[in-house]
Amino acid sequence: MPKRLITPEDLLKITFVGDPQISPDGEQILFARKQITEKNSYLTHLWSVDLKGHLRQWTSGESSAGGGRWSPDGKQILFVSDRIKPGGQFYLMGTGGGEAVQLSKLPEGRIGAYQWSPDGKRIAFTFRPAAAHNTEVAKKDREAKGLSTPPRVTESAWYRLDGDGYFMMERYALYVLDVATGEHKELYAGASDTDAYDFNWSPDSKEVVVVHSANKHPLFDDENDQIYRVDLAGKAWQLKGLPKGSKGSPRWSPDGKWIAYAGDPHAVNWGDGNSQLWIVPSEGGEAKSLSAESDYCMTASTLGDSKDAAFGATIEWAEDSKSLFCAIGWHGSTHIVQFDLKGGHKQLTSDQKTFGFGSVAKGKIPYVVSDATHLGEVGYFDVKSGKETTLTHLNKAFHEEVKVSEPQEVWLEAEDGWKVHAWVIKPTDYLEPKRYPAILEIHGGPHAQYGWTFFHEFQVLAAAGYVVVYTNPRGSKGYGEAHCKAIHGNWGDRDWADIQAATKWMQNQPYIHPGQMGVMGGSYGGYMTNWVVGHCKDFKAAITDRCVSNLVSMAGSSDFPLVSDRYWPGYFFGDIAKIQELWKQSPIAYFDKVDTPMLIIHSEGDLRCNIEQSEQVFMALKAQNVEARFVRYPQTTSHGMSRMGPPDLRLHRLHEILNWWKKHL
């Protein structure tokens, strides 16, 4: 049967897989399998696959179950589900069979990260209890009495987070759950104004290592994360001798001698420096970077719309405590790289792919792998043999049904000689020597990368007859610290030079119609789209999605406020000269020159780039009688709507994009 062209609706047929965790005996991989239901929702359940490719489903029903973790003895699986509402609880399921049993008795609130203790007796987890007036019981009581929703009140700048909402003065703390009794207790809290805790058990199960800010006002002070050891009585002490800067993903070595972490001693709040792999003696002392001789960043993420977004570091110890495994984004790929404690590193996985891995056991590393033409599947890497094995084929039927177009990579040269990595996807039914309309896609971040992973949106555009071009201009991760820091506090300069190089390259390709080109992007990509239309006339139309337009107003309207003279020179109040520093890098400042028709997409619930950023774009265009269409998604959606939003709204967005390009290109 001949394959057909891919459509927006094929999003509903994708099987999303993630969070691979290998069993302690190294024989099975537990993973999350997510699908879109007929009720316009995502349903996640736990599955496993053995090393011969045999699948097993562990959870079922209409309530999702995720975050599956093998017990240290491999006899139980821990997971979180909201099957008893409101709120989530921990559940245990025996691997020998039987129904899942509720383990915890938590009040209404939100569970964060969690880990088994190595002896299997406890679970360490972060949890944020709901304030009394925010519980479902309180809401129903108000409705019954006809009372209004109470006002939101905060005395802290840390009161909201995109995708999380307005939590005001509610805070996470670190808790411990007793597996035998199901009882929980708060272990550690109140470290700073924010409540970000990364943690890991000691190998003897007697302590937890915790990373958090040592600052009183973390959102405004220079970054100063520190490492603390906390015993089971809640007594904490700080490891001495560590530098300031960012730190995260602590991992205690199996032999107890070392604590590894990802960190940048010179970090500012936009994270454009390399986050390196460090080790420090577990008793404290001088930290040593294992990745300093490379130009790798531990938090370089490859963006896509068919996999979960992950921006933290992935670090796991080898079982002999002599090396560590990390996920490294480089030149559009993400690979598993092994770092030796004595120095040196080697890339373990191969080809132009994106690997995301979980735990390590018996010399096997479970992963989810995807590439530019294949959706994610579960497999593993065998450290001893050096062999990669893909075990699942959950998206086989999808790929047998639809046509996709394979990207071709090119390296461009900017006006100053800088090399820029780019890809081009020709129309799925491309015919020579015809010229086609083309779309330049600009990624968000900006400190992330496009690359070798399946991008449904790109394939939909190619199927609709467009050439799709996407690049990693300066500011992107994955090309070394100099490439990333080239736009430090200075957007619209070297990144703009690289976008111009891509534009000129497009205009000179025999299969692209130079008068039929469009530009689009989301978040920082929306910023650059706005910048492009204010600085050139090369594009016939544009789409700006969840954009940044005005750095002056964004400085105080984002969930992560800008800090005076930190990443950006200048500030949003006070000295007019400081305000002008931000204003001159704001795309809206140049909108008196814009006559490009624009589709504007934004979520009203976006707390990262507030919708007021797009409102300014829309009004500036309308004031000048420039064609503009403003699509506002509801308060229940967030900054990540294109990747994680309600399925029907994701489809609506894709059709808005297709209709706009059909009209203008």
Q: What is the rounded CA–CA span in Å between residue 529 and residue 315?
A: 35
Is 523 considered catalytic here? Answer: yes
For residue 561, what are the CA distances in angstroms to 567, 609, 635? 11, 11, 21
Q: Which residue, among 72, 184, 172, has the nearest Cα to 124 in the 3D structure?
A: 184
Cα(226)–Cα(238) distance, integer angstroms? 7
User: For the chain, give me the number of helices (H) and strands (E)?
Assistant: 11, 40
Answer left, alpha or beta for residue 136, where phi above 0 means left and psi between -120 and 50 means alpha: alpha
Beta strand residue intervals within 53-206, DSSP E: 55-57, 65-70, 76-81, 89-94, 101-102, 109-116, 122-129, 160-161, 165-166, 173-178, 184-188, 198-201
Contact 662/655 with Cβ under 8 angstroms?
no
Considering the candidates 523, 553, 586, 603, report the single residue annotated as catalytic.
Answer: 523
Assign 315 to helix, strand or coil. Answer: strand
Query: What whole-number distance in Å separates Cα of residue 418 and Cα of residue 486?
Result: 11
Q: What are φ and ψ of residue 278, in 5° steps?
A: -120, 155
Distance (Å, whole) CA 9 – CA 5: 11
Catalytic pick among 443, 456, 602, 639: 639
What SS3 state is found at 618? Answer: helix
Question: How many CB atoms sit inside 10 A of residue 85's CB?
Answer: 10
SS3 513: strand
Beta strands in 341-385 (DSSP E): 345-347, 354-357, 364-371, 374-382
Distance CA 419, CA 518 (A): 23
The neighbour count for residue 595, using CB atoms within 10 Å, is 11
Beta-bridge partner residues of 56: 48
- Catalytic residue set: 523, 639
